[in-house]
Every structure is written in structure tokens, then in C-alpha cells.
Structure 1
Amino acid sequence: MRALILTSASLVLAASCAAGTGFLSGPEEEPTVYGAFLAGRYASVARDVDRSADFYAQALEIEPGLDILSERAFYAALMAGDFARADEAARQAVEQSSDLEFARIYARAAALEEGLRLTAQGESEVGPFGRVIEDMLADWELARTRSGARQAAGQTLEIPSQAAPYAIVHKALIFEAAGEWSRAEDAYTAASQDGDLADFVTVLHGSFLERRGRRAEAIALYQARISSDDNPDPDVTAALARAREGRRPSRLTPAEGAARSLYALSRMLVQSAPGDYTALFLRLVQRLDPDLARNRYTLAQTLEALGLVEEAIALYDGLAGTPYGVDARVDAAWLLFVAGEREQAMERAETLRDETMDASARLLLADIYRLTGRCARAVEIYDGVMQGGAEARWQPHYYKGICHQTLGDWPAAEFHFLRALEIAPNEPRLLNHLGYNWIVFGERVEEGLTMVRRAAALAPDNGAILDSVGWGLFKLGRYEEAVDWLERAVEQSPGDPTINWHLGDAYARTGRDLQARFQWEHALGLDPDAREEALIRERLERGLEAARADLE
């Protein structure tokens, strides 16, 4: 995939954003080019993208003629979203070498956004993906005029097979720009058949219909898409509200059209390319249209997946006032919680709860309460959400059941687990959780085993679910079968203390005492909770026969 995406080897810079944070001091008073370069590299390794961009820019100021500095400065600035620096570094990189494919593509996109025409910088060999991008940008350069758009509409793109479904969006947009309404509508309809693009294309298609004066058809299109999804896309919902108010969307500029063409193409990267490539590509789209909220939201999610927490939160926070505003605030609060900033996350979640009645905002707060041991407060919120229309969703029932179980009310917990299963009978987590608890409690063991076997068939690589099957077989005295399942479970989740002591018990029951002792000792080193630690120590000190059979 690397060869397909970009031929420029300097993308290694983005890949190097991959370790701890924040140990660098500021730039020296009289920095050398070598010192600034090394500092930029260290900042890059530390995932400090802003400081990496600072140091590389400083090195480039000292020695503007070095190819390696201009390309490193370009990629660092682009990853940081510092477009002013990226523009300048890309210009220098392109002037110094015709081999920097992505820098040339970026410079062309920047010129398109600014309404300029980029002077040709010479020819260089590009990969097939790079060629598609350049051809799309060339189409939008032509589309500055209606006659140019017609010329672009008559051209055929050379598209790699895996990119073909995504390139249909580009053709639809170009046909619309050219005034070829029938061909545009056919292309929009064809593009909407791709499930990954359905929401995005629905907004583009509906906007096209609105601009053509076919508002009722646009409203019907939006409504059909919303009704087909249990969790409607915010952008589609916002488009429906706008159409109902009669606010016709404006015609796209060439840069805005190019941004949408390339955003569609980015969906292929999201699915198949490393996150750093995707992030750089989405930054390119952002350079073309900084107001495209869907792109900014996707970029924030991509940066979050790369572990760039501060950068992701900044993008989430910047989506206030867009259709993705509430979702972005939920994601930002949850990201802070996962990053260990629990109090700040809770403050954000409580503020969001107070400002909106959105179910996702309230469920966020309930989840934070549940995970911080405040289950009684979480149950109140889950109740309110279900009364407000989420009764038909399995997640509130499941998490409310977990809270009741934590509070010691198993009958109430069981009721909600069963209700959740009625809604989502093939959800592996539900099947596993309820089935495992029936096994552990010694009630309905056979039924519980059947349930966790179904879960294992649905999620065969999930160590916790494989463990449930093995532990059910163990409880039924089928020890050799249990060993097979528990060994598979340990392979999938080697760091789970519960699975390891379960396997130790199975080894002990099948006469493999040395292996059993090894597994118990290994489980102790995996940071079990206090109850499990006591159980394991009983086995090591007194043997399995004299120890408690399971957690109580």
C-alpha cells in the first residue's frame, strides 16, 4: 500500500511520530542547523508535533537550501496543521526537488484554494494514487469556469481498481460544475451505493437537488437516509433541517469541490493505510476547505488513534457550532477520561449534560460514573435515557445491568441483560457476559455454556469469550476440553490474569501439576485484583482441592 499511496520517502517523518511526550527544552539562544534538526527529530519521536514543526522550521530558516530540511519541515508543519509553514516549506521543497510528490500535490492544492495558478515545477514519476490526486486537482483547476468544467467532465481518469468507487464522487461533482445535470444525478446515485460513503454522498446529492430547485426531493432523500440508520449522521440531520427551512446551499467553489473529491478518496486510506498517511491526506483536504466539518471530525478521530491526544482534542473543540459539535464534545471528554484526566473529563461531561438533552451526552456521563464506582448515579441516568426513547437500544440495558450487578442486585442485573439480548440477540458481549455469569454462579450452567459458545462463534479471536467457553466446560467437569479452549484463550489474551489462573485450574484437574503451578504464579504477576490474588494464593499454598472453587 505504501507504494500506491505516495512515492516520497520522506513520509517516514510522519511515521516517526510514535513514542512518549514532553521532555524537550526550548530552542537554544543561538541554535545550529544540526541542533535544530536533531531537536526536531526528537520532538517527532516524542509525538510533540507542534514542537517538531517549530524546530524543523527553525532549521530551515538557518539553512534554507537543504532538501532534507524543507521536506522534514513540510511534513512536520502539515501534521501539526500549521498551514502557513507547510505552504512555505512545500514551496521550497518543490523548488529544490521535483521528486517530492506529496509536497508538489500540496502546493497545487494550496494554489487552488487561494485562486492562483501554480507554475509547472517539472515532471517527476508518481505512483498511481498520486496520479489520481493530481488529475482530480487538474479537473478542479479547469472547473474555475463552466467551459473548463465541461472540458474536465469529458476527460477520463486513470484510476486504480481499489479507488474506483470513491472516484465516482469526483465525477458527480465535476458533472454538476459543468452543468451536466443528468450525468451528475446518475453519478451521485451510483456513489451512494457504497455504504462507507452513503451519508457523505446523501448530503452532496441532496444539496445538488436543492440547488436545482428540487427541495421536496432533497428532503425525501435526507429522510430516507435518516430512517435507515439507528444512529443518523449529524450532517444528514443538519441538511434536512436546512432544507426544511428553505436555505438553499451555495454552489461549491473549485477548492471546496476538490476537498470533497479528495475526502471521498480518503475513505480508502482510512480503511487500508497507516494512520499517519491518512492524517497527512486529511490535512491536505483541510487546506482546501478548512470549513468541511466532516473532514475535521474524521481527522480528529485519526489523530486520536495515533495517540496525538492534544491535537485531537483541539480539533474536537474546534467543531463547536457544526453538525458534529455534540459528538465531538463527547469524544473529547471520553478521550480525556481514557488519557487519565478523569476529573476534567467528568466536568466536561456534566457541562455537556446540562447544556443538551442529547442521549449520547448523558450516556457519556453515565459511563464515566459507572467506571468511577458511582453506579447509583449512573443507573439514574440510564433510566432517564431509556425513558427518553433509548429503551429500544441494547447498550443502556447492558450497562445498567452491570451497575446493578456491581451494587449486588443480581436479579435486576439479569433482567436488563436478558432485555438487552432481546434487542441484540447476536451481540457477543451480551452473550458472553450473561452466559459467563450463569456459569460462575452455578445456575443454568448448560444454558450459559451454549450462550458463550454462540459468542465464540461470533467473535472467535476474543480471549475473554474463549475463556468463558473453557470455564463452562471446566464447571461441567469436561476438563480436557476445557484445557483446549483455555489454551486458545491465553494465546489471544496472554496478559489476562483471570484466564491464566483458569488455565492453571484446568491443568491441575488433568494431572499437570507443574504446569498448573506455573500458570498460577504467572497470573500473580499480571496484576490481578485483590479477590483474584487471594484465590490464586490459596491454590499456590494449599492446592486446588483446598482452595475456593471460584470468586464469590
Structure 2
Amino acid sequence: MALGACTASVAQEMPNTEGFRVVQTSTSGSFLAGRGAYEDRRAKVAANYFEDALDSNWDNLVLQERAFKALLASGQVEKAEAIARRLVEAAPNYEVAKLVLGAVALKERRYKSVEKDLSGSSLNTLYGITSNVILAWSYIGNGKPELGYRTVEAITQDGFKNFLVFQRALMADVGGNKQMARSLYEQAYDADPFVFSIVEAYARFLANNGEFDQSLEVIERVLERGVTNIELEQLAQKVRAKKRPGRMTENAQEGAAELLRGLSSALSREGASEPSLMLVRVAGYMNPKSVQIAFATADFLERAERYEQANEIYESIPQSSLHYHSALVRSAENLRELERSAEAIKRLNNIVAIEPDNLVAITALGDTLRFEKQYEEAEKAYTRVLDMTGGERLIDWHLYYVRGIAFERQKKWDQAEADFKRALALYPDQPQVLNYLGYSWVDQGMNLEQALGMIETAVSLRPNDGYIVDSLGWAYYKLGRYEDAVETLERANRLTPSDPTISDHLGDAYWQVGRKREAGFQWAKAKEMDPDEELLEKLDAKLAEGLIADAG
């Protein structure tokens, strides 16, 4: 879903606070601390600081806005709503505040308040469009489905068409218009047949109408691709048993929550982090029992490197949930990111002991062992998974790829090369595999022309990946094309300026074209980047004697 135009307009929807300043000395410390915490993505801490500042300067619009956004980002939606009312009084066009007012009113089934807060919202801005769809859901909940349908149909902004078709399908389903729902579900499914939410909603609709074979066909089309999805797997069991599973969204509140979750996911993919987090937090408030929304929120926090906060969400998943062990696996992966790998390995081993067929847990265990350079044990974990899957699924390319890395790090090159080739047989244009195998060949001085072609393909697929661009530069170097190597490695260094291997390669290329002072600078820089012992030894030799000391 393309949301570029609306995403770009988000900044313009904020209230104009330029003329307002935090002037009281007693509040400035809290304000500055809150601003720093918010920039560091510690939203809950930031909210506390901004609330402290507001205690002594409640009418300051800057503080109101900062506190509102921090409260929303930390999931304190009801507190944010109280400030939203003040913000709307001062800035009537502050759309995200109006959206929150409408969402809270819908959650509480105050349908007239939703209409009062959201009627007249823009049809051209992100939050305005979202507010209109929330208003439409309110009409559905208030027994006015036709008004709800018309409200969504009035939105014609480019980029929202497919997304709104699915929303209208959900509305028609909840509103009891089966004919409309069927037509819209079919449109949504034809456009995106592998989106889990669309597949689940459409399959449920078919099964609820007794069309069990058709429902199962929709589900199995996804599962046959080798993906793991607990909801769809459980749904398939019910459908096979000829049981009607119920709708994916049973009421207007759940429908609006799915709206916000879906928009948040789309915005996150386009890099709009602040609105993405705020929307998914409101979604979680509207449907607190949704594990899917909880996982979406945790996933956002992980990408923001707030692993502790993500784990707080995973730890809230009850043991009775189908997702309980998935949450444990994700929390263990976050422990690895927090440099608590020993704890992560222990947790994953416990999960595998309880669930010996848990492919996700065994794979995560292999990844953590590989991260800790326990390559032999990682290889065993990946082999166990491949033995269980048969190794023929499309997504098994990744298992061959990571097992190949484990083999390569153990200097078992024949096994590693075989795994990389198996990965490419399943996924011929996978850029990571093309790069790893191509680079490995280049580094060993073998199959250079074939390796160059593979790496060039990888770069065309991932032109902004500094590591893959580095591989191309190193291939040029090994082929004696030093000027090309310099140009390409300089680009890799700009893309990934803090990698010691890239700086080392660039230094070697500079040396070969006579730029020896710049070569020494790059080697010295690489030495300051915490290289491994093998590279450190080579760098020391080069800095002492130049490239004569290293055969390349």
C-alpha cells in the first residue's frame, strides 16, 4: 500500500507551537530530560518528565503536545485523551488529537461523541482519512451501516484503494451485508492473496457460510508456501472439522483496531515510525485482547532497539495463548540483542525440551548459537530443522544459508558451498546468498568471473547494502581492476562507514593505485573499529610495512 503523500503530510498536521516556549525555569529541566528520552525512544520515561513539567505550566501548548505524543507512544491512551481535549481547543485542526478523541469514544460506544469529534475530517491527510474510517466503523456499531459504507467510499486518496476495500469488506461482514462482503473480500484477496489478515478474514467468511472446501483452499494456498502462522493453522483445523469459526472482527471496536494495526504496519514499512507507533498503541487500547496487535507493537519496539520494552509485552502473553511459546522465542531473541545470549540459549533449550517439534524455537536456538560463535552446535540445530521440514520448502533457503555460514566458519567449505547452492536452487536471486557465495569464492581466488556476476546481481537487488557493495569492490580488486575497486569500495564505505573489513579493503585498493597515505588512514581507522584477531594482525602488519606484508 502506497501512503507516501499522506505520510509526508503528517508533519504538517501538528499544531503550530512555534510561538510557544517553555519559559519557567522550574519546568525546563523536566522538558529537556523528556525531550532527550523521547528522542532516545524511551516514551514512558519521556511522558513522566513532560507530565512533571506540565504540573507547573499546564497551559503551555508545547508541553501539552510533547506530553500527548509521549503518552500515546507509551500506550497510555486514556491519559493522552485528556491532553488531546486541551490541544484541540487550542489547535482545532490537530488531527491526531481528534483521532484519539474519536477512538476513545468508539471504544466506549459513545457513538454521538465519535460523530461530533470526527465529522468533517480531511479526506486528504493520513490522520484525516483514518478518522473518517473510524467514523465509518462508529456508524456500523450504531446500526447505520449504509452511512458507514458511504463514508469510506468518499475517500479517493491514491494509495488507499486496496486497503479500504478490505476495510469495507470487514464492515459489510459485521454489518450483515453478505453479498457486499463477499464481493469486497474477493477483491481484497485477488489483490493481496498472501496477506495473513485478508486470508484469515476471507476464509472465515467462507466457512461461516458453509463453504468449507473453498475456505480451506484459501488457507492452504498460503500454508503450502512453507510459512508458519498459528492463527491460520488453527483455523484450518476448524474448517476441516466443518466448524464455523466466526468473524475475524466481531464488532466495530475490533474493526477499528484492525484498521489502526494495518495502517501502522504499512507506515512502518515506509519508515514513518512516530505515526506508526502511535496508531498501533491506539489499536492495542481498542482491542487489548488481540495478540496480533501486541506482537505488532513489540515488533515495532524491536526495530527501535527497545528490546526491554518489547519483552515486557511478550511476558504479558498468557500461558493459555497459542502464541505463548512464540512470545518466549521472541523474548529470547531479544535477550541475544541485549548481549544476554547465555540466558537466551537456556530459555530456548527449555522451549525445545517442552516442544521438540517447535521449528521456530530450534531455528532461533541455532541463530543464537551462531551469534555466540558456537558454530558446530548451530549447525546441528539447523540440520535438525531441515530434517524435520524435508528441506524442500521455499523458505528453507534461509536454513541452508545460515547452516552454510556455520559450515564456512568451521572451515568446512565443501559442505558450506553445497548449502549455498541448495539455497540458490530454492531462491535463485536471493541477494544475501548470492553475495555470501560470491564473496567466498572471490576471497579464495576461485570462480572469479562467475562470482563477479553473482555479486553484481546482488548489488542490483540491494544497491544500498554496504556489505554487498563491498563484495563487488573486493571482486574488482581480486580481478586486478583497482580503479573500479576504489570507486566501488568508497561507495561501500559511505554506505557502511563503521565496518573494519570495508575500511581494510578500501585501504588495500588505495595502496594499489598509489594512494598510500590514504591507505594507511583506512587501515588505522579499521583498527579502531574492534576488528577480530585475524584482521587485527593483518592490519598491524600493513601499518608497519604496507601491503607487501599481506598477499591480499
In the TM superposition, residue 256 of structure 1 has moved relative to its aligned partner by 1.3
In the TM superposition, residue 185 of structure 1 has moved relative to its aligned partner by 0.8
Worse-matched range after superposition: 384-393 or 112-121:
112-121
The question of 1:150 aligning with 2:153 is answered no
Does the Cα contact within 8 Å between 1:421 and 1:431 map onto a contact in 2? yes
What is the total number of aligned residue pairs between the two structures? 529
Match of 1:22 in 2: none
Does the Cα contact within 8 Å between 1:132 and 1:157 map onto a contact in 2? no
Give 1:233-312 correspondences, 5 Å limit: 233-245=229-241, 246-249=243-246, 252-312=250-310
Counterpart-to-counterpart distance in 2, 1:543 and 1:2: 51
CA distance change for structure 1 residues 326 and 542 in 2, over 3 Å: closer, same or farther? same
Match of 1:15 in 2: none
CA distance change for structure 1 residues 242 and 270 in 2, over 3 Å: closer, same or farther? farther
In the TM superposition, residue 401 of structure 1 has moved relative to its aligned partner by 2.4
String of CA shifts for 1:467-496, please: whole Å, max 9, x gaps. Answer: 333333333434344334333333333333
Counterpart-to-counterpart distance in 1, 2:29 and 2:449: 67
Does the Cα contact within 8 Å between 1:210 and 1:248 map onto a contact in 2? yes
Does the Cα contact within 8 Å between 1:94 and 1:121 map onto a contact in 2? no
In the TM superposition, residue 46 of structure 1 has moved relative to its aligned partner by 4.4
Return the letter of the residue paired with 2:332: A
Give 1:101-500 correspondences, 5 Å limit: 101-119=95-113, 120=116, 126=122, 128-146=125-143, 148-155=144-151, 156-195=153-192, 198-227=195-224, 229-245=225-241, 246-249=243-246, 252-320=250-318, 321-322=320-321, 324-356=323-355, 357-389=357-389, 391-392=391-392, 393-500=396-503
String of CA shifts for 1:367-411, please: whole Å, max 9, x gaps. Answer: 111121222221221221111115231222222222223223333
Counterpart-to-counterpart distance in 2, 1:506 and 1:46: 38
Counterpart-to-counterpart distance in 1, 2:455 and 2:271: 34
Return the letter of the residue paired with 1:285: A
In the TM superposition, residue 273 of structure 1 has moved relative to its aligned partner by 4.8
Counterpart-to-counterpart distance in 2, 1:206 and 1:6: 38
CA distance change for structure 1 residues 133 and 196 in 2, over 3 Å: closer, same or farther? farther
Counterpart-to-counterpart distance in 1, 2:397 and 2:488: 28
Does the Cα contact within 8 Å between 1:439 and 1:445 map onto a contact in 2? yes
In the TM superposition, residue 340 of structure 1 has moved relative to its aligned partner by 1.9
Return the letter of the residue paired with 2:351: L
Return the letter of the residue paired with 1:439: V
Return the letter of the residue paired with 1:333: A
Worse-matched range after superposition: 131-140 or 185-194:
131-140
Does the Cα contact within 8 Å between 2:140 and 2:175 map onto a contact in 1? yes
CA distance change for structure 1 residues 215 and 274 in 2, over 3 Å: closer, same or farther? same
Match of 1:89 in 2: 83
Return the letter of the residue paired with 2:269: Q
TM-score (norm 1): 0.85
Worse-matched range after superposition: 69-78 or 133-142:
69-78
Worse-matched range after superposition: 109-118 or 236-245:
236-245
Worse-matched range after superposition: 428-437 or 107-116:
428-437
Worse-matched range after superposition: 175-184 or 199-208:
175-184
In the TM superposition, residue 275 of structure 1 has moved relative to its aligned partner by 0.7
In the TM superposition, residue 123 of structure 1 has moved relative to its aligned partner by 8.0
String of CA shifts for 1:478-523, please: whole Å, max 9, x gaps. Answer: 4344334333333333333223332333333333333333333333
Does the Cα contact within 8 Å between 2:503 and 2:523 map onto a contact in 1? yes
Structure 1 regions of 5+ residues with no counterpart?
Answer: 13-30
Identity of aligned residues (%): 27
TM-score (norm 2): 0.85
Counterpart-to-counterpart distance in 2, 1:6 and 1:489: 32
Worse-matched range after superposition: 380-389 or 96-105:
96-105
In the TM superposition, residue 345 of structure 1 has moved relative to its aligned partner by 2.2
Counterpart-to-counterpart distance in 2, 1:375 and 1:408: 10
Counterpart-to-counterpart distance in 1, 2:332 and 2:479: 44
In the TM superposition, residue 301 of structure 1 has moved relative to its aligned partner by 1.3
Return the letter of the residue paired with 2:513: T
In the TM superposition, residue 10 of structure 1 has moved relative to its aligned partner by 5.8
Counterpart-to-counterpart distance in 2, 1:48 and 1:459: 32
Match of 2:532 in 1: 529
